[in-house]
Chain A
Amino acid sequence: MERNLLIELLEDGDKVSLYSPHFEGEEYSEFEKFLLAYKDEYPEDVRQLVYRLDIIKRDGAADRHFRYEGTRRDRVMALPSHLETTSLRLYLLNIQSKILILGNGGLKSTATYQEDNNLNRCVQTLQKIDIQLKQLEHQKVLIVTGTQLLGNLQFSIDD
């Protein structure tokens, strides 16, 4: 099913800005849905993730701060809850270490994310968004300037 979405700016940062896909007709962006889903059940893990993002916004988003997920062809990465009290994973796209597009995530209880329907869907959604973004970047319809993503931030994916 084709779904329209907007890559929405959530927060500016000195070195990194935070964006999230926001599907048409939905109240919240993907990252906001993640926060709302887990903030009451796993409050400490969510706090750690939020503070980790604050450090990244301030200091930078070098690849080593994340775990590689997805495939070699895409820019999907995972941010684990900081002190790993649980296996809460947040999936994201790291664009040139300047922009994080924060997706959804969940508790990882299987050896690989592919074995978990929810996590697999979270990663696949970001992979599809990444394909679109790369095309738009290639066409120069979308550009990264400083920590801002400028251009056409609305498109659709088959999700």
Chain B
Amino acid sequence: MLMKTNKILDEIRSTISPETKMQMELSVAIANRIYDILEAKGMSQKDFAHILGKTETEVSRWLSGTQNLTLSTISKISIALGEDIIAVIGHNPYHAYEETLPSVAEPEEEYKKSNHS
């Protein structure tokens, strides 16, 4: 089926740079990823905002895909959700971060060793 298009929109489309398209695709994809994780975890926007110390309005803007999120904000969101939001080929940021955390069992094991030896 031939899709109807609009002449003025087509003229503007012809001037959109590949960089603009990629940046917008990425920011929408990031917003969708955050939304999907919240849904999967059954976490409300209100709870998520509370965890991060942000307002619901701010979280709502993140999820709209109309915000140019900084790496700092993406990192905070990733840590709060415990999931990767973005990935670089060959490297998963959250998992790499997780590997640097001490194992929860380690201190207890050390304590037992020191008290039973």
Cβ of A68 to closest chain B Cβ, rounded Å: 9
Contact bitstring A57-83, B, C-beta under 8 A = 1, else 0: 001000011110000000000011111
Extra A-B contacts (10), CB below 8 Å, given A43-B15, A51-B21, A67-B64: A12-B1, A13-B3, A32-B6, A36-B8, A44-B20, A64-B63, A65-B66, A79-B66, A82-B66, A83-B66
14 contacts between A and B (CB under 8 A): A10-B4, A10-B9, A18-B6, A35-B9, A47-B12, A47-B15, A48-B20, A50-B12, A50-B13, A65-B64, A65-B66, A66-B64, A83-B67, A84-B66
- Least CB separation from B35: chain A residue: A64
B60 touches A64 (CB 8 A): yes
Cβ of B8 to closest chain A Cβ, rounded Å: 5
The interface residues of chain B, by DSSP majority, are classed as helix
Contact bitstring B1-39, A, C-beta under 8 A = 1, else 0: 101111011001101110011011101100000010000
Q: Could you say which residues of chain A place their CB within 8 Å of the CB of B67?
A: 83-84
Residues of chain B whose beta carbon lies under 8 Å from any beta carbon of chain A: 1, 3-6, 8-9, 12-13, 15-17, 20-21, 23-25, 27-28, 35, 60, 63-68
Give A151 to B68 CA distance when docked, in angstroms. 40
Task: Given A39-B12, A83-B23, A84-B68, answer yes or no on A11-B35 (Cβ-Cβ < 8 Å).
Answer: no
- Least CB separation from A68: chain B residue: B60
How many positions in chain A have a CB within 8 Å of any CB in the partner chain? Answer: 32
B9 touches A46 (CB 8 A): no
Which of B3, B28, B66 makes the CB contact (< 8 A) with A11?
A: B3
Q: Could you say which residues of chain A place their CB within 8 Å of the CB of B25?
A: 55
B16 touches A55 (CB 8 A): no
Q: Could you say which residues of chain B place their CB within 8 Å of the CB of A32?
A: 6, 8
B20 touches A11 (CB 8 A): no
